[in-house]
Amino acid sequence: MPKPVFREERCKGCELCRDACPQKIIVMSDTFNSKGYQPATCPDNLKCIGCALCAKACPDVVIEIYK
């Protein structure tokens, strides 16, 4: 089963990954990282299909998909 992993400290909250996700399972966190951004996260990893479109859309290489 694929698992998306987000490096939340590197995320700038651009939301490009959220827009790219066909499953619409990526949300912006309620908390802030040390740089003051609301990082992207995936609260329901079980719905991830492993397409990696989120990782490809991320300009800061924040997301890795483990299969």
Domains of the chain, earliest start first:
3-66 (3.30.70.3270)
Give the per-residue pLDDT at 35: 96
* Cα–Cα nearest to 6, from 46, 40, 38, 57: 40
At 1, is the pLDDT very low, low, confident or very high (cuts 50, 70, 90)?
confident
Give the per-residue pLDDT at 61: 96
Looking at residue 52, its amino acid is A
pTM: 0.91
Number of neighbours of residue 40 by Cβ within 10 angstroms: 25
